[in-house]
Amino acid sequence: MNRKLIAAAGIAGIAALVLAGCSAATPAETGPVTITYSNFISNGGNEDNLAKIVAAFEKANPDITVKVTTLPYDSYGTALQTDLAAGTEADVFDINGPSAYGPLQTNGVLAALDGVDGSVYNTALLDSYATGGVQYGLPTSFSDVVLYYNKDLFDAAGVSYPTADWTWADETAAAQKLTDAAAGVWGDHQPVSYNEYYKVLVQNGETFLNADGTKVAFNTPGGIEAAHWLVDKSGTTMPTIDQGQGTADFDTNLFKDGKLAMLHTGIWVFGSFADTPANWDIAVEPGNTAVANAVFSNAVGVSANSKHHDAAQKWAEFLSSSDDEVNVRLDSGWELPTIADTAKLNTYLDKGKPANRQAVFDAAKNIAPAPSIGDAQSEMQDIITGELIEAQAGRETVEQALDNAETKINALLAG
Partner 1 sequence: MSVSTAQTSLVDRALPTIATPPRGRSRAVRTRYALTVLAFLLPSAIPLALFVLGPMIAALWVSLNKWNLLAPMKFIGLDNYAKLLTDPGTGEVFLHTVYYIVGYLPLVYIGGLGLALALNTALKGRSLLRGVYFLPVVTSWIVVALVWRWLLSPSSGVVNTVLGFFGIAGPGWWTDPTWAMPSIILASAWKDLGFVMIILLAGLQAISPDMYDAAKIDGAGWWRRLFSITLPLLSPSTFFVLVISLINGFQVFDQVYAMTGGGPNGASEVVVEQIYDLTFRYGKAGEASALSWMLFIVILAVTVIQVRGQRRWVTYG
Reported for 170-175, long-range contacts at CB under 8 A and 24+ positions apart, including other chains, are 170/286, 171/147, 171/262, 171/286, 172/237, 174/261, 174/262, 175/233, 175/237, 175/238, 175/261, 175/262
Rounded to a whole number of angstroms, the minimum distance from the CB of residue 393 to partner 1 is 7
Q: Is 103 in the site for partner 1 (CB under 8 A)?
A: yes
Print the binding letters for residues 184-223 with partner 1: x by CB under 8 A, - otherwise: ----------------------------------------
Closest CA to 300 of 90, 122, 155, 133: 90
Q: Pick from 56, 68, 77, 173: which binds partner 1 (CB under 8 A)?
A: 77
Residue (80 or 126) nearer to partner 1, CB:
80
Distance CA 407, CA 380 (A): 11
Torsion of CA 308, 311, 315, 317, to 10 degrees: 110
Q: Is residue 336 involved in binding partner 1 (CB under 8 A)?
A: no
Beta bridge partners of 180: 185
DSSP state of 64: E
On the 0-12 / 13-18 / 19+ scale of CB atoms within 10 A, 365 is: exposed
Residue 206 sits at the vertex; the CA angle it makes with 203 and 210, to the nearest 5 degrees, is 140
The reply on whether position 163 binds partner 1 by CB under 8 A is no
Backbone angles phi, psi at 279, to 5 degrees: -90, 105
Considering beta carbons, is residue 222 or 235 the nearer one to partner 1?
Answer: 235
Give the number of other Cβ atoms within 10 Å of residue 316's Cβ.
25
Q: Which stretch binds partner 1 (CB under 8 A): 107-115, 209-217, 290-298, 348-356?
A: 107-115
- Hey, which residues does 186 pair with through a beta bridge? 260
Position 387 contacts partner 1 (CB under 8 A) = yes
For residue 303, the minimal CB distance to partner 1 (Å) is 12
- Told to check if 16 binds partner 1 by CB under 8 A, we report no
From 243, 347, 358, 407, residue interacting with partner 1 (rule: CB under 8 A): 243
Of the candidate spans 34-42, 141-149, 240-248, 269-277, the one that interacts with partner 1 by CB under 8 A turns out to be: 240-248
- Figure out which of the listed residues 253, 386, 403, 413 binds partner 1, where binding follows CB under 8 A: 386
Q: Which is nearer to partner 1, 91 or 396 (CB)?
A: 396
Q: Please give the angle made by the CA atoms of 182, 183 and 187, to the nearest 5 degrees.
A: 95
410 binds partner 1 (CB under 8 A): no
Query: Interface residues with partner 1 (CB under 8 A)?
Result: 3-4, 6-8, 10-11, 14, 18, 77-78, 81-82, 84-85, 103-104, 106-109, 241-244, 375-376, 378-379, 382, 386-387, 389-390, 393, 395
